[in-house]
Amino acid sequence: MSYPRPVLVVDYGAQYAQLIARRVREARVYSEIVPHSMPVAGLLAKRPAAIILSGGPASVYEPGAPQVDPALFAAGVPVLGICYGFQAMAVALGGTAEHTGRREFGGTPLTRRPGESVLLASLPAELDVWMSHGDSVTAAPPGFVVTAGSSGAPVAAFEDRARRLAGLQFHPEVAHTAYGQQMLARFLHDLAGIAPEWTSASIIDEQVAAIRARVGDKRAICGLSGGVDSAVAAALVHRAIGDQLTCVFVDHGLLRSGEAEQVEKDYVAATGIALRVVDAADRFLDALSGVTDPEQKRKIIGREFIRAFEHAARDLDAEQHVDFLVQGTLYPDVVESGGGTGTANIKSHHNVGGLPDDLQFDLVEPLRTLFKDEVRTIGSALGLPDEIVWRHPFPGPGLAIRVIGEVDRDRLAILRAADLIARAELTAAGLDRTVWQFPVVLLADVRSVGVQGDGRSYGHPVVLRPVASDDAMTADWSRLPYDVIARISTRITNEVPEVNRVVLDVTSKPPGTIEWE
């Protein structure tokens, strides 16, 4: 793989490590996340263009707290320390950090010091930044110039331009820090001297070359789910090997209105990919009959998916031998699983287990180094329709876990009708890209009294669950305009006769999850 030299984000347990890596990429520089336990020799073996030390929950002086090996700073690699990384960097280089009792959390006024600074040059003398610290650096290491301070952290930023080292007590990666992205870009481009060359075009070119070199003249299959990850992964592999790739779409009958047709028609028309469709709706619904427990639903759907996919894969292999399986694994999946590799497993967050032992393929994961927003950019560059590229994340078990209670055709039809209205109104309001996900949930085992026409009704409630998030690890409910919510509610209760009540879920994650089951 001919990736550029990476900027390594050393993770000290920060909630923002992935966000730092994403912000680096937004500055058009390639980044990777590595654990703080990696020794300096391991870090340097990756030939980093620069290193960023993340924040973390520990106190730099407490027993067992992760430390920074001073040898890192003698290697000539540019380093930026953030929050805990800033404090650990200061201590390792001969400065001091103390528990002063002057904690700062949240928005905090920062004062830029007079004098030369690469990261803060020409920025306002006073600006708001996002702090989250109990300890503070009280003395900068020898050779460093203090460039900013706050009331609780007199040493809130420092730089050693000669050695290309810098540190920030606050978090430049979060949106709450004014000019934070500009500060990161200045570290990367100006202090570290890294050219901004990480683009969608370079990613596509690099991956196409790598896939061709690996696959050669052999064949590959890809399981299409209808989601953006598998769609972009397949399109990228198809760009590399053309008709050596066949996609398998297992239609389990649990997708939303129009989505199966979108895969079968729009996606194929846009890419020219050979598609094998497995109509397994009856099989899935028969297996789900009488089941109400959500975990049992997931296991049944996972089992039936593997059986259907296995059958299609064996048929394809019998026609012409298949060596490779394409998966839409993303970088957060890799980081959260510890970066392990192994034999082919359908992605665990799709709630589907591994393939049988006698059905082995070599994995091709062309999106393994990318975040979701980068995947969408690649999808657009590959010419995929916006309806696929900007599709909201959707659970592998589909509508089965948005029907609370037993799943059958009638209940799925009710939910599809309500969901289609909600999506249509969100699109009409121009809010598709401001909402991360918009589950519509049918409380199938609940009925409520209502008034429709001149009589009482006894219908199902529907729950609207619009959420805002960057990565689905945390989320907040989306504050949709009241008139949009009102239109959705009115249309659902008018056009879906089985529903007489629409409610809005205003729970954040945590404590709630995005999906109800």
Helix, strand or coil, per DSSP, at residue 115:
coil
Which of 32, 36, 83, 392 does the annotation list as catalytic? 83
Residues 6+ apart with CB under 8 A from 338: none
Which of 26, 173, 374, 425 does the annotation list as catalytic? 173
Residues 6+ apart with CB under 8 A from 224: 230, 231, 234, 247, 248, 249, 263, 267, 275
**111: amino acid identity, one letter:** T
Burial class for 146, CB neighbours closer than 10 Å (0-12, 13-18, 19+): middle
First vs last C-alpha separation in the chain: 40
Q: DSSP characters for 437-453?
A: B--EEE-TT--EEEEET
Q: Whole-angstrom Cα distance, residue 20 to residue 35?
A: 14
**What does the block give as tokens for 387?**
């309806």
φ, ψ of residue 275 to 5 degrees: the values are -125, 130
Which of 36, 133, 171, 238 does the annotation list as catalytic? 171
Q: Whole-angstrom Cα distance, residue 30 to residue 206?
A: 13
Rg (CA), the chain: 26
User: What CA dihedral angle connects 139, 141, 145 and 146, to 10 degrees?
Assistant: -30
- Site of tokens 């239609």: 251
How many angstroms from the chain centroid is the CA of residue 366? 15
| Region for 383 from its dihedrals, namely left if φ exceeds 0, alpha if ψ lies in -120 to 50, beta otherwise | left
Residues 6+ apart with CB under 8 A from 390: 228, 376, 432, 433
User: What is the helix (H) or strand (E) element at residue 407, kind and residue range?
Assistant: none
222 given a catalytic annotation: no
Give strand ranges (E) for 424-505.
440-442, 448-452, 455-464, 467-468, 476-477, 499-504
Q: Please state, in angstroms and as integers, the Cα–Cα distance from residue 189 to each residue in 139, 197, 374, 400, following that order.
A: 27, 11, 20, 48
Q: Which of 68, 43, 70, 73 is nearest to 58 (CA)?
A: 68
189 given a catalytic annotation: no
Strand partners, 325: 221, 363
Helix, strand or coil, per DSSP, at residue 428:
helix
238 given a catalytic annotation: no
Strand partners, 490: none
Q: Whole-angstrom Cα distance, residue 225 to residue 223?
A: 6
User: What CA dihedral angle connects 324, 326, 296 and 336, to 10 degrees?
Assistant: 120
Residues labelled as active-site residues: 83, 171, 173
